[in-house]
Structure 1
Amino acid sequence: MGSWIDAVSTLLFKYPPRAFARGDLVVAPVVPILVLLVVALVLVAIVVATHASLRTLRGRDRALLATLRVLVILLVIGCLLRPGLVIASAVPQRNVFAVLYDDSRSMRIHDVDGAAASSGTNAAATRLDAMQGVFSDTSALMRTLGEKFALRRFRFSAAAAPMRSSSEVLAGGTRSDLTQALVDVREDLNGMPLAGVVVVSDGADNGNGALDDALLALRARRVPVYTVGVGRERFERDIAIERVDAPRRTLAGASSVVEIDVRLRGTGKDPVTVTVEADGRVVATESVRPPARGDLATLQVRVPPLDPGVHRLAVRARPLASEIVTENNEWQTSMAVRAGPDRVLYLEGEPRPEFAFLRRAVANDSALMVVGLMRSAERKFLRLGVQDSLELLGGFPTTREELYQYRAIILGSIEASFFTPEQLRMLADFVSVRGGGLMVLGGRASLSEGGYAGTPIADVLPLTLTRGEVNAEGPAIPVMIRPTRAGESHSALQLGTSLAASRTRWDSLPALTMVNRLGTLRAGATQLLAGRTDDGRSDVPILAFQRYGRGMSAVLGVQDTWLWRMDTSIPVEDLTHHTLWRQIVRWIVEDAPAPFEIIASPTRVAPGEPVLLRAQVNTPLYADVNDAGVTATITGPDGAAQSVALEWSLRDDGSYSARFTPADTGRYTIEATAQRPGAGRDSVQVTQATVLVDDRGADVAQAELRSALLRRISDETGGKYYPLRDAARLADDAVYTDAGVTVREAKDLWDMPAVLLLLALLLGAEWGYRRWRGLA
């Protein structure tokens, strides 16, 4: 359809639509415009006056004939204005034109009509064959482009690489990174007169770069990107693992929740089996049915506790008998399990059951150690779970070094005036600088009632605070608590073996009470639990959290979760309270960083694809270190080791990076060491990471043609998107560009065939009407 419309438009208006889109309309009248306007007005007046005097004609005939003749006059005057189109076009053979070929494994999919492929058969061809049929070195399109530009060919998967011939494209890459490909081409051709870029791809993109930045850089140079889509936009029968949300790291001794999005098409009503494997062993199985609306189903799968170490997780869905693509039925990732124990400081300002029941709930979790500090009298504290007799001897920590040894802090019913101003600033820095987790519980001396409004803590919390007094006598308000939509799928709030079982358990829990005036949710915060009170309030933010700096803060606005253990409706053997608090405490400590960490990106590659190692080095007080020596020892699946030195990044304090390229499939273990110069052996820090190397092709998870992404790339850079069958129009459109070496030409529009046709239609209509009415 698009090709037919463009052909007709070019026939009628002399030039293709793209020329009008990029050009500027101008006029160059044969005589001054004022003279033409006067002549036009005089002629129009004569026509109107002449027809008004013809009393023998009916009014409708006079009006219609006068209108047709006026339009003819205006059309002729318009031609005398000599309208033109000023457009910049590339000077032949003076500009570079880059052609990017998708070299990823998704191009091996058989879903293109054979007629579009180089084979010329009618059987379904691979996307690679179809692409080569149109963009091979000897194709008509490439010969035409070669006559107008100096062509530079690139192939891309994880990155772009120059090549001499299109025959070098073998579709062997396991990732597609469109952002990196555009950046690489722009940098490689920097300084050359680049007139345009064409990307021939199926739109699969699983890179980590910022596409907006890459497009902005090209737009700044006025370089248009033309995109050509290859493949089928929709498979009628297909099962695909679209997304897997698994914790990147977790604590040993507890199960983890993996959220999976599965796309189901053409499966009928039959359930589809989804399995989760850890290191090749099936650890969980779940059945999923097609949703009532749409084709995307979401399920939560509980993975049992795994041993400490890094585990390879694989999510698989059983394929259909006639699927075009089966590679997207699998998703692999890795999860690091930390042995612990992680230390948490729980501070209470008064003896209350919540303190004892919370500590008792997590007492049997070997990966957690809750250190209790309860004020029993003025300047007297009960210390529980301390490592030695000196820990917390003077009460709450007074130095950052002492405070930062904990991964999370829980504040009970303790007023803000208990802390010194410096301790309040330390608590805020504990979240933003150290990256720890802070949870504030409801109580008569906490939150607004505890005087925290206006303190450094107020900005950290996910709920707004107002100034108030300690609620010493006010009544406790009963509140029924239920998870929000975000809370239903949150790993910390799973109370059953499945999402439905967890929802049922939440619905059966008795009411708790609150004594605080809970504020509104801050922008960027997430509400996980909502409460309904007897006075009709149905959306009280009971549990909410937000990211703040490097860390996370949360508010649990009730004072007696212990009722979920001791209420008369709760059986003695019920462990809901224990389970909930173990999961909540694990949640607030899991993402707290160590002073030295290293991350491999991406965590799954193919042999021969580069891996970026990025390390963050801090002191024990989490100050950035810019002069450390950082080395990574990389051990491959065959046991061979290599050392890579990481260089300090000039853009980010405390950040170091390097690249390495794995050669074989399997698991690569990375052990990184950092040492500050002149600080002795005490400054040595060690951390680990892993990389999975296989050749299955992560980009095949996005197997369908993503035309929307390709259209966005072309639209935002001033280019154009073409289906592969219409790619031949690219040769004509690419000439009209503002980039590179160009010449501006003025092209006449007054002699367009459309003008002559319109003039003939007007004159013919006028004569035909007179003939029909017997006036000729």
Structure 2
Amino acid sequence: MSRRAGSRSWVFRQQGNPNGRLPESLYGGGCRPERRGYSRAMGEFHLMIGTPWPWWLILAAAGGAGVVTWRGYRRRASEVAGRTRGWLSVLRWSAWLLLALCLLQPVRRQILREAHASRITVLVDDSESMSFADRAQGPSRLSRVLEYLGDEAGKSGLLGELGRSFRVQLEGFAAQARPLNAPAELKADGARTDLAQALNDAYARLRGPDATGLVLISDGADTRRSEFARAAAAYQRAGLPIYVVGVGAADVPDLAVTQVRCRRQVSRETLARVEVDVARSGFPPGKHSVRLLHKGQVVKTADADLQDGSATARFEFLPAEQGFLEYEVAIEPAPGELITANNRLAFGFVAFSRKLRILYMEGSIHQHNYYGRYTWGDKWEHQFLQEALEEDKDVEVTVLLGDPGERGEARPPAGMRFVKDGYPKTKKELYRYDVIVNSDISYDQFTEDQVKWTVDFVARHGGGFCMIGGWHAFGEGGYAKTAFDRMLPVEMNAADTHEHGKDFRWRITDDGWLHPILQIDRDAGKNREIWAQLNTLGPNRGPAFHGYSKTTHAKPAATVLAVVDEEDDPGSYLGPMVLVAVQPFGRGRSMAFTTDSTGGWGAEWEDAWGDDPYDPSRRNIYYKTFWKNAVRWLAHYRMQAPNQLVVIDSDRLVYGRGESADLRVKVLTEDYDPTHDARVTVTVTEPGGEAKPYSLFPRYDEPGIYERKLDLNAVGTYRIEAVAVLKNDELGRDATILQVRPSSEELRRLNQDVGALQRIAAESGGVYLPIEEAGKLPELLHQDMHLVRRYRHTELWDRWWVFALLVGVLCAEWFFRKKNGLP
């Protein structure tokens, strides 16, 4: 007999129990299935105390009454013989014990066990990867599974074996689990696999007191990459082990294109960058050729070095056309490869073309007519940079001039606007530009709002900003300790001045030689020769520059591209004088060009830095190339997407059938501030032509972002248009195209994921078996067949003979007491 701590019961067993005691819960008249790890000893019963009173108080009262009885009879020792006194004490003590026993209300609970048929679910993977054959001319994975399952009504096979001892529920799954009437309903055509969802669906139908467990038959290729560990843990908490049968080879000889990454929208004037992930299994390490194709023609090739099982091939190219362009990447099949459908993957993006908008402010207002040996005819200073940029037909330049009154310069031709009047007066006006070039314009030409908007334009909206040197630039122009100062890549002080009439040579830094702004020619040797010309372009074959604005030093985040040669100016203890420096600022970029691009400091370079002094279109071709490089580098972020208030985006442009697209729409107000107050809807036109409207919901942790998941269950082209409305006024709209291909991700994940299947088994308390060893499964399941416990309760104190015995003892004690003359 063993006392159970914390309860008023004792456990009696007729056989040994290696697993300890049973759960203490009392199921009155009911039954509870016996689980693995609990006792299965037969003939076990409990002796329980049913009184609501504390058992120790009743026993203490009975003991106290016995002591009082003993002391009472001892005081009368002279009146009664010793043997008589002893019998009287025994009778009185017996009465007290019987009364205490009745007050304790003892109950005998007998545990009866009997075998009971229980339920089990067989959950079979029905996704597309199960149609794959692991060897040439061999059966598919599903065929092997169907042979293993047999017929539920037959005498062989897993279903027939289990049907003799269990109630079997057959289910299939891909994205979700569903009940089946027969194995023939399995088709291996599911577009994606979601193990967690399937396990949750099966659990909802399986759970109950008569459930035994679940048999999962799968290759483990979870294309949704779901959190199946949580689902397995729910089975473990319910005492339902998952017995996993793994199907398929763990190392299928295969090469596969697993993913393609690129931007959804690409400017035709910028390089499209595409990353292609390639994986191998079953083949030795080595290099494999990856091709990029457009309309069946090879655009580029790259090698993927598959040393560690996976690698990324990278492509850079200019889009061939405008609009939605579809491309394909393909890896050459290897000898012995069983399936080649996953060797190719289509993708696409929208190639758009819009003008690059430049706001150019020039403080030098005079005609370039005194350098007659460099130019034919008269030009205003701002025309050199304007013409250089507008030579590209995709660039649009707006020119504003500084106040001529503060310099005593002549007024320019009629029609020219000035900074104070022409600089944008609203955010909407300012943000239509992509790059702002400030050449020798003092800080006091701007209002505080214009300064704030300009910094916000660069930091938050990805614009570009360039400051060019002069007498009214950098610290000398009042920019020190202002918001512009924080944006620029050089430190400056209000006391900074300039060098005027001082010839100096450029020295390109190591970073400068590699930077795209300074790539006048793609050939590195030729490029160095071109830059060397700057030091021999001026009068008497001297330097081409004759002055610059002084700054303190470059900021830590800046990249210095060029400095004043130390032989011409040693600089300071902080380093040489900076000529060209760049840095990122928020989403945008900024540039400091401390010398000048106009007459006086840089007349030769703006007019004669080229390869043919007699051809007007080429006499300053290098000057033009430099500034074209500069503005395109500065506009990098802005040129990646159209400049608009509503922009739709998705995580990819090409999907497999059955996958889901993450749609995101960014919404800005007319002041270019992100908002969550708009009503955003998308109209999705499916491949069949049916148009369906959907609402998008704001993502409050990302200002201005609305999102929704879109299920893509049809093959073809999905056309999506987004519209944003704020206060009944339309802010704007945007459209995109999604391509859905028949080949789903199932064919890109062919290896059996043994690790995932083993984790499911381990975390649920089950067992993993490869299908080659699955013959052991029925024996394991029979070991866990339910023994149902039933309880029979008998109240030991509520018996007539107990009452008769108590009355008989009391009467006998009273009779002997009276016979001996005791009260």
- TM-score, structure 2 as length reference: 0.55
Question: In 2, are the aligned partners of 1:408 and 1:436 still within 8 Å (CA)?
Answer: no
SS in 2 for 1:272: strand
User: Are 2:151 and 1:111 equivalent residues in the alignment?
Assistant: no
Q: Match of 1:323, SS?
A: coil
CA contact (8 A) 1:230 1:705 kept: yes
Post-superposition Cα deviations, 1:507-558, rounded to whole Å, max 9, x if no partner, equal 8774899966333349xxxx898999989999x9965547x4xxx1224466
Cα–Cα, structure 1 residues 509 and 172, in superposed 2: closer, same or farther, change >3 Å? Answer: farther
- Per the alignment, residue 472 of structure 1 pairs with 497
| Alignment match of 1:276 (pick from 264, 269, 293) | 293
By how many angstroms is 1:398 displaced? 3.8
1:507, 1:701 → 2: CA distance? 48
In structure 2, the partner of 1:645 is 694
Secondary structure of 2:554's match? coil
Instruction: Tell me whether 1:101 sits opposite 2:125 in the alignment.
Output: yes
**2:747 partner letter:** V
Q: Among 615, 619, 629, which residue is 1:580 paired with?
A: 629
How far is 1:616 from its partner? 3.7
| Unpaired runs of at least 5, structure 2 | 1-17, 20-35, 38-115, 367-379, 410-414, 535-547, 613-617, 783-788, 790-823
1:554 and 2:589 matched: yes
Q: How far did residue 167 of structure 1 move? A: 5.8
Contact 1:283 1:304 in 2 (8 A): no
The CA distance in 2 between the partners of 1:659 and 1:143, in whole Å, is 44
Deviation at 1:182, TM superposition (A): 3.3
Deviations 1:88-128 (A, max 9, x none): xxxx999998958372x44444336x9xxxxxxxx655454
Work out the CA distance in 2 between the residues paired with 1:710 and 1:483: 54
Alignment partner of 2:272 out of 248, 256, 259: 256
Please name the residue that 1:369 is paired with: 396
After superposition, the Cα gap between the structure-2 partners of 1:203 and 1:350, relative to the gap in structure 1 and judged at 3 Å, is farther
Distance 1:662 1:441, change over 3 A: same
How far did residue 337 of structure 1 move?
1.9
- Rounded to whole Å, the distance in 2 between the matches of 1:379 and 1:458 is 23
Q: Distance in 1 between matches of 2:661 and 2:732?
A: 22
CA distance 1:262–1:583, shift in 2 (3 Å): farther
- Work out the CA distance in 1 between the residues paired with 2:708 and 2:650: 10
For residues 526-675 of structure 1, what are the structure 2 equivalents within 5 Å?
544-545=583-584, 548=586, 552-556=587-591, 577=626, 580-581=629-630, 583-584=632-633, 587-592=636-641, 594-600=644-650, 603-607=653-657, 611=661, 613-624=663-674, 628-637=678-687, 640-649=689-698, 656=706, 664-675=714-725
Tell me which residue corresponds to 2:262.
Answer: 246
- SS state at 2:390 partner: coil
C-alpha contact 1:633 1:671 (8 A) present in aligned 2: yes
Hey, what does 2:343 align to over in structure 1?
Answer: 329
Aligned-partner SS, 1:587: coil
Structure 2: distance between partners of 1:290 and 1:493: 31
Partner of 2:328: 314
Name which of 440, 450, 462 aligns with 1:423.
450
> C-alpha separation between the residues in 1 aligned to 2:431 and 2:648?
20
The letter of the residue matching 2:427 is R
Quick one: distance in 2 between partners of 1:584 and 1:674? 31
Paired with 1:305 and 1:454, the residues of 2 have a C-alpha distance of 43
Please state how far the C-alpha of 1:350 moved relative to its aligned partner.
Answer: 6.7
Name structure 1 gaps, 5 residues minimum.
Answer: 1-13, 16-21, 24-91, 115-122, 383-387, 736-742, 744-776
Supply the distance in 1 between the matched residues of 2:363 and 2:781 (Cα, whole angstroms): 73
Q: Which structure: larger Rg?
A: 2
How far apart, CA to CA, are the structure 2 residues paired with 1:354 and 1:466?
A: 28
The residue that corresponds to 1:400 in the other structure is: 427
8 A contact 1:255–1:305 mirrored in 2: yes
Rate the CA distance shift 1:149–1:493 in 2: closer, same or farther, 3 A.
farther
Contact 2:519–2:527 (Cα < 8 Å) also in 1:
no
2: CA distance, partners of 1:190 / 1:455 = 64
Partners in 2 of 1:268 and 1:648 — Cα distance? 47
Which residue in the other structure is 2:553 paired with? Answer: 517
Q: Which amino acid aligns with 1:101?
A: D
1:700 aligns with 2:739: no
Distance 1:301 1:604, change over 3 A: closer
Q: Which amino acid in 1 is paired with 2:173?
A: R
Which residue identity does 1:695 align to in structure 2? P
Deviations 1:618-645 (A, max 9, x none): 322234555655444444456x241313
CA change 1:452–1:634 in 2 (3 A) is same
1:698 Cα deviation after fit? 3.9
Equivalences for 1:765-776 in 2 at 5 Å?
Answer: none
Task: Tell me how far apart the structure 2 counterparts of residues 578 and 143 of structure 1 sit (CA, whole Å).
Answer: 80
In the alignment, the residues of structure 1 paired with residue 774 and residue 325 of structure 2 have an alpha-carbon distance, to the nearest angstrom, of: 45
Contact between 1:613 and 1:657, CA under 8 Å: does it hold in 2?
yes
Aligned equivalents of 2:252 and 2:596: distance in 1? 50
Is contact 1:313-1:334 (8 Å) kept?
A: yes
| 1-structure distance, mates of 2:205, 2:406 | 71
| SS of residue matched to 2:334 | coil
Paired residues of 1:145 and 1:731 also in contact (CA < 8 A): no
How far did residue 249 of structure 1 move? 0.6
Instruction: Name the stretch that deviates more: 391-400 or 468-477.
Output: 468-477
Q: Give 1:690 shift.
A: 0.8
CA distance in 2, matches of 1:714, 1:344: 63
More off after superposition, 397-406 vs 622-631: 622-631
In structure 1, C-alpha distance between the alignment counterparts of 2:529 and 2:244, rounded to whole Å: 55
Note the C-alpha offset of 1:591. Answer: 3.6
Aligned to 1:436: 462
- Greater shift after overlay, 439-448 or 398-407? 439-448
Give 2:734's aligned amino acid: T
CA distance in 1, matches of 2:173, 2:632: 47
Q: Which amino acid counterpart does residue 180 of structure 2 have in structure 1?
A: R
Measure the CA separation in 2 of the matches of 1:721 and 1:332.
37
How far off is 1:284 after superposition?
1.1
Note if contact 2:427-2:672 (Cα within 8 Å) is conserved in structure 1.
no
Report the CA distance shift for 1:508/1:685 in structure 2 as closer, same or farther (over 3 A).
Answer: same
The aligned amino acid for 1:329 is N
Mapped contact 1:493–1:583 kept (Cα < 8 A) = no
- CA drift of 1:400 comes to 1.9
8 Å CA contact 1:349–1:414 kept in 2: the answer is yes
Q: 388-397 or 313-322, which moves further after superposition?
A: 388-397
Shift of 1:336: 0.9
Secondary structure of the 2:637 match is helix
- Call closer, same or farther: CA 1:439–1:232 in 2, change over 3 Å: farther
The aligned residue for residue 118 of structure 1 is: none
How far does residue 692 in structure 1 lie from its aligned partner after superposition?
A: 0.7
Tell me how far apart the structure 1 counterparts of residues 398 and 589 of structure 2 sit (CA, whole Å). Answer: 19
Contact (CA 8 Å) 2:666, 2:704: kept in 1 or not?
yes
Counterpart amino acid of residue 518 in structure 1: A
- CA distance in 2 between partners of 1:230 and 1:109 (Å): 11
What secondary structure is seen at the aligned counterpart in 2 of 1:337? strand
Deviations, residues 592-630 of structure 1 (Å, cap 9, x unaligned): 562123335553344565555443443222345556554
SS at match of 2:665: strand
Secondary structure, aligned partner of 1:324:
coil
Cα separation, 1, equivalents of 2:662 and 2:479:
43
Structure 1 distance, partners of 2:160, 2:273, is 51
CA drift at 1:335: 0.8
Change (3 A) 1:393 1:332: farther
Paired residues of 2:126 and 2:173 also in contact (CA < 8 A): yes
Give 2:818's aligned residue.
Answer: none
